Amino acid sequence: MGKYYTVSTIAQRLSVHSRSRVVTEDTVYRWIRQGRLQVERITGNSRGYGKYPYQVESKHLKSVLIELGFDADRLFPDND
């Protein structure tokens, strides 16, 4: 089973590691609406998942982030 990241985790990691860009949850959600990111709804929406109850598979996330100019392997290492 692959690793998954929530919208809030994605936004947080991209903002912390990027000096020139601040990435908000709304930005990640916009990528979802635009069809760039394919997501799965988190069932049983409980607190702790942020504003949007979605998760993104790691391999897909990395390919999209590379297209957007991020260093995806550094931001989302396989061993974390």
pLDDT in tens, 25-55: 999 999 999 999 999 988 765 555 566 688 9
C-alpha span between 3 and 8 (Å, rounded) = 15
Per-residue pLDDT band for 78 (boundaries 50, 70, 90) equals confident
Per-residue pLDDT band for 62 (boundaries 50, 70, 90) equals very high
Any idea which residue has 């979605």 for tokens?
A: 54
Give the whole-number percent of the chain exceeding pLDDT 90.
49
- CA torsion, ordered 71, 74, 79, 80, to nearest 10 deg: -100
* pTM as predicted: 0.82
**Cα separation of the two ends of the chain:** 15
Q: In what order do the strands lie in the sheet with 40-41?
A: 4-6, 54-57, 40-41
Closest by CA position to 5, among listed 69, 71, 50: 50
Per-residue confidence (pLDDT) for residue 22, from 0 to 100: 85
H/E stretch holding 57:
strand 54-57
